[in-house]
């Protein structure tokens, strides 16, 4: 006779907020490993990333989403659509803000995306390590006037300070039932997807101006040689202009080599194997405004 599945606090939580407030950093801290890419530049996250946070008596399926902002280009409009679409079928919502940024005012309320939402919303005040503590009460007071948050928690996602309280506050809001995913997987994202994201992260970290926002990465092949304990990965970096291609490649290929070396280190940690990474750069004119190409990229 089969025993029934273990019953735990198990549910789905959307992680939303403006760009660059630390959503991906929080997810990585909760997981204890890097799943979602991070850079100091806003709008680094483009797709919805699913992270599975497991504990002895809980499983929180966390949806890391692109930053919500005033979008104009087709790519950015799709990013915001992905973020807002994640609110439909969740058990709770985390709304995250950066306490170092100016406080919202009339006509500039980041919480407007929560209008009509009937799910409990936790407000996380991130980057508390970067401000004086006496500034906290005015920040809390301002956000309390904007929305009836279930709980308001100050924390530092980068320092993993306060993230235990996030788990404590979320668990009572989740239904009781079986785990939605096996305990030994941290994400439903494929290795190919994460590898492409790692390469894109290095472009964000090592290039400036419009270059990161004009690049996309696809994995062309992913071949494992068990005898040699080596994985060979071919990836293409797409840019919008010939001038951007030159910047990504660099003088005598120096920048592309630098990007590849940085990405390979993280990919080897992810896959726990030696990796041979081969990168190509191609121009896809104005791809961020091309609906057909955006569909090919999965938007």
pLDDT, mean over the chain: 88
51 belongs to an annotated ligand binding site: no
Confidence class of residue 83 from pLDDT cuts 50, 70 and 90?
Answer: low
Q: Which residues of 135-145 are buried (b: 16+ CB within 10 A; e: fewer)?
A: eeeebbeebee
290 belongs to an annotated ligand binding site: no
pLDDT at 209: 80
28 belongs to an annotated ligand binding site: no
11 belongs to an annotated ligand binding site: no
255 belongs to an annotated ligand binding site: no
160 belongs to an annotated ligand binding site: no
Q: At what angle do helices 23-31 and 163-170 cross, to 10 degrees?
A: 80
Mean pLDDT over residues 107-119, rounded? Answer: 79
Confidence class of residue 64 from pLDDT cuts 50, 70 and 90?
Answer: confident
Are 203 and 211 in contact by the 8 Å Cβ rule? The answer is yes
Percent of the chain at pLDDT exceeding 70: 89
Mean pLDDT over residues 205-220, rounded? Answer: 91
pLDDT at 1 over 50: no
188 belongs to an annotated ligand binding site: no
128 belongs to an annotated ligand binding site: yes
Q: Which residue has the higher pLDDT, 6 or 59?
A: 59
pLDDT at 107: 59
21 belongs to an annotated ligand binding site: yes
67 belongs to an annotated ligand binding site: yes
| Domains of the chain listed by start with CATH number | 8-177 (3.40.50.300), 191-296 (3.30.300.20)
Confidence class of residue 36 from pLDDT cuts 50, 70 and 90?
Answer: confident
18 belongs to an annotated ligand binding site: yes
Q: Which residue has the higher pLDDT, 64 or 100?
A: 100
DSSP string, 30-70: HHTS--S---SSTT---S-EEEEEEETTEEEEEEE-PPP--
Radius of gyration of the chain (CA): 20
| Torsion-angle region of 160 (φ positive above 0: left; ψ -120 to 50: alpha; else: beta) | left
């Amino acid at each position: 006779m089969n025993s029934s599945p273990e019953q735990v606090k198990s549910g789905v939580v959307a992680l939303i907020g403006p760009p660059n407030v630390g959503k991906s950093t929080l997810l990585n801290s909760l997981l204890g490993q890097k799943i979602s890419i991070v850079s100091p530049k806003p709008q680094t996250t483009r797709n919805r990333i699913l992270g599975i946070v497991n504990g002895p008596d809980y499983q929180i399926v966390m949806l890391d989403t692109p930053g919500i902002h005033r979008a104009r280009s087709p790519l950015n409009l799709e990013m915001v659509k992905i973020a807002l679409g994640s609110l439909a079928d969740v058990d709770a919502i985390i709304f995250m803000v950066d306490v170092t940024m100016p406080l919202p005012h009339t006509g500039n309320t980041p919480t407007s995306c929560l209008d009509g939402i009937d799910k409990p919303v936790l407000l996380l005040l991130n980057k508390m390590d970067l401000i004086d503590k006496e500034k906290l009460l005015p920040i809390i007071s301002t956000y309390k006037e904007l929305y009836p948050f279930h709980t308001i928690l100050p924390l530092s996602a980068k320092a993993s300070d306060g993230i235990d309280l996030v788990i404590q506050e979320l668990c009572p809001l989740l239904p009781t039932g079986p785990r939605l995913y096996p305990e030994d997987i941290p994400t439903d994202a494929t290795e190919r997807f994460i590898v492409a994201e790692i390469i894109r992260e290095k472009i964000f970290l090592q290039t400036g101006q419009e270059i990161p926002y004009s690049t996309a990465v696809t994995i062309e092949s992913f071949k494992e040689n068990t005898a040699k304990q080596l994985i060979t990965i071919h990836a293409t970096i797409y840019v919008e202009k010939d001038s951007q291609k030159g910047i990504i490649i660099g003088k005598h290929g120096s920048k592309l080599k630098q990007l590849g070396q940085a990405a390979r280190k993280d990919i080897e940690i992810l896959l726990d194997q030696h990796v041979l990474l081969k990168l190509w750069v191609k121009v896809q004119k104005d791809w961020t405004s091309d609906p057909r190409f955006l569909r090919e990229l999965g938007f």
